[in-house]
């Protein structure tokens, strides 16, 4: 089924803005009026230009951001958190009356953004698997946004994965799980790979075993009707090797480790917001 979206501007097409752009360029997505993207340098902007994308660089066109938002219904703010306020001040007068401003920046509140632009504002928190269309995005409505606008932006983020519509009060907490979560998974892969190497396998063999196991387990979970607990039990034969290994993981109290992990990330998100 084809997804149809109105004209979109992405201001700051770094890793996350680029991931969203990839989703919008999928064959199943049609953007009426086209996509406009901006970057600071010509070197980054040039490769993004196509028959579907107008790519502008502020390096050569100081008016690039304002040009991009004129006529755009959805304006995605993809710059770093510290740059959001100045960017919104820059484009505020160029936004269309029905524009929807959506930020992917951590820590920048809806209240802060609504004070800077006259448009409807939504706050989002996508994660990096959006690059391969398997992202999870938290999306919070602003005080001026309508249900129709929320649904429109939900449809946009569904081009790169799943969407959870939540209150803004939960955005920071979501960022500690799905936002930072891919890094936790990659860290576990790194550590298990080191263990495999210590057991005598080459780095290439270790990578095949560990990465294949994580990817395979994730796909098994995705295709199964069983819960993670049920799938774990299926692998854990009574009095077998896996049962002995799981006992060590339980002894490590991973729940407490992840509680502290999330708390540390949440504290940092609050600091960024301040």
Q: What is the mean pLDDT of each run of 10 residues along the chain (274 residues)?
A: 93 90 90 94 92 94 96 96 94 96 92 96 94 94 96 95 96 94 97 98 98 97 97 95 96 96 91 75
Could you give the C-alpha distances from 77 to 14, 86, 89, 113, 249, in angstroms and in order? 11, 11, 12, 11, 41
- Number of Cβ within 10 Å of residue 37's Cβ equals 28
pLDDT at 107 (0 to 100): 83
pLDDT at 246 (0 to 100): 95
Q: Which residue ranges does the chain devote to CATH 3.40.50.720?
A: 3-167
CA neighbours closer than 13 Å in the CB half-sphere of residue 28: 10
* CB-CB contact of 109 with 86 (8 Å): no
Query: b/e map of 132-171 (b: 16 or more CB within 10 Å)?
Result: eeebbbbbbbbebbeeebbebbbebbebbbebeebebeeb
* CB-CB contact of 137 with 127 (8 Å): yes
DSSP symbol at 189: H
Picking from 62, 96, 85, 75, the residue whose alpha carbon sits closest to that of residue 17 is 75
Q: How far apart are CA 17 and CA 22, in angstroms?
A: 9
pLDDT at 270 (0 to 100): 82
* CB-CB contact of 108 with 129 (8 Å): no
pLDDT at 186 (0 to 100): 98
Q: Which residue ranges does the chain devote to CATH 1.10.3730.10?
A: 181-273
DSSP symbol at 193: H
3-state secondary structure of 271: helix
- Number of Cβ within 10 Å of residue 244's Cβ equals 10
pLDDT at 153 (0 to 100): 97
CATH entry 3.40.50.720 includes domain 3-167: yes
Per-residue tokens: 8: 């979109």
* CB-CB contact of 213 with 235 (8 Å): no
Helix or strand (DSSP H, E) at 151: helix 147-158
pLDDT at 89 (0 to 100): 97
Q: How far apart are CA 235 and CA 157, in angstroms?
A: 35
pLDDT at 223 (0 to 100): 97
Q: Which CATH architecture has domain 181-273?
A: Orthogonal Bundle (1.10)
3-state secondary structure of 35: strand
DSSP symbol at 221: H
Q: How far apart are CA 125 and CA 20, in angstroms?
A: 12
* CB-CB contact of 116 with 92 (8 Å): yes
């Amino acid at each position: 089924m084809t997804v149809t979206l109105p004209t979109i501007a992405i201001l700051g097409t770094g890793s996350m803005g680029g991931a969203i752009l990839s989703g919008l360029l999928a064959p199943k997505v049609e953007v009426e009026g086209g996509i406009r993207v901006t970057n600071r340098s010509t070197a980054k902007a040039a490769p993004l230009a196509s028959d579907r994308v107008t790519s502008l660089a502020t390096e050569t066109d100081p008016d690039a951001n304002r040009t991009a938002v004129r006529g755009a219904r959805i304006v995605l703010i993809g710059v770093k958190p510290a740059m959001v306020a100045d960017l919104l001040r820059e484009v505020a007068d160029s936004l269309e009356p029905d524009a929807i401003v959506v930020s992917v920046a951590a820590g920048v509140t809806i209240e802060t953004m609504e004070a800077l632009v006259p448009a409807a504002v939504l706050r989002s928190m996508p994660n990096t698997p959006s690059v391969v269309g398997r992202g999870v995005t938290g999306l919070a409505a602003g005080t001026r946004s309508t249900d129709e606008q929320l649904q429109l932006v939900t449809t946009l983020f569904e081009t790169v994965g799943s969407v959870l519509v939540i209150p803004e009060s939960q955005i920071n907490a979501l960022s500690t799980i799905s936002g930072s979560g891919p890094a936790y998974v990659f860290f576990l892969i790194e550590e298990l790979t080191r263990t495999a190497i210590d057991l005598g396998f080459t780095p290439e063999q270790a990578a095949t075993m560990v990465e294949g196991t994580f990817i395979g387990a994730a796909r098994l979970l995705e295709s199964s009707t069983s819960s993670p607990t049920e799938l774990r039990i299926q692998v854990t034969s009574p009095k077998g090797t896996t049962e002995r290994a799981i006992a060590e993981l339980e002894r490590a109290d991973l729940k407490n480790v992840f509680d502290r992990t999330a708390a540390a990330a949440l504290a940092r998100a609050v600091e960024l917001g301040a």
